[in-house]
Amino acid sequence: MRKQGSISAAVEVTVPFHDVDFAGVVWHGHYMKYLENARWALMDRLGFGLDAMVASGFLWPIVSAQVKYVRAARYGDRLRVQSSLIEWETRLAINYLIVDERDGARVGRAQTVQVSVERETGVMQFASPACLIERVQAFQAQQSHGR
């Protein structure tokens, strides 16, 4: 992970048989599922999971996804997928690190970028709406008081 933000979450994935290709390695497209699960773990940690996003009146499409594959994962491998919020004021940018839990080796890294779009009008916002900013600020305040 190139940059790690102050808010992060992680999920563990045991590579299932249906995610590997004929060569016995995880097909590259399945990594997106692993990133998605880590992203939702992060959003849930912020208190801005799916229900809160829907209730916000905004949609949050992914407009960019970049993945760097470093080492192939195989059936049965246990992966740790860490997500870290690095931008939230104008867009949601999340960095990811995928490591093999067996030896700590990096399997890949990634970044997704989302923008907010007003659901009623379909208009993209050039700043993140207050409903997200307030959740991030509340989380950060809670973390700083808990230290």
CATH number at residue 114: 3.10.129.10
Q: Please indicate, yes or no, if residue 102 is contained in any of the structural domains.
A: yes
pLDDT tens digits along 33-86: 999 999 999 999 999 999 999 999 999 999 999 999 999 999 999 999 999 999
pTM over 0.85: yes
Q: How confident is the model over 84-111, as pLDDT tens digits?
A: 999 999 999 999 999 999 999 999 999 9
Q: Are 11 and 81 in contact (CB under 8 A)?
A: yes
With respect to residue 2, please indicate whether it lies within any of the assigned structural domains.
no
Residue 10 near residue 83, CB atoms below 8 Å: yes
Q: 124 in a domain, yes or no?
A: yes
Tokens of 87: 């931008």
> Given a cut of 60, is residue 1 above it in pLDDT?
no
96/37 Cα distance (integer angstroms): 11
- Per residue in 9-37, pLDDT tens? 999 999 999 999 999 999 999 999 999 99
In the 3-class helix/strand/coil scheme, how is 63-126 assigned residue by residue? Answer: EEEEEEECCCCECCCEEEEEEEEEECCCCEEEEEEEEECCCCCEEEEEEEEECCEECCCCCECC
Domain that holds residue 15: 7-145
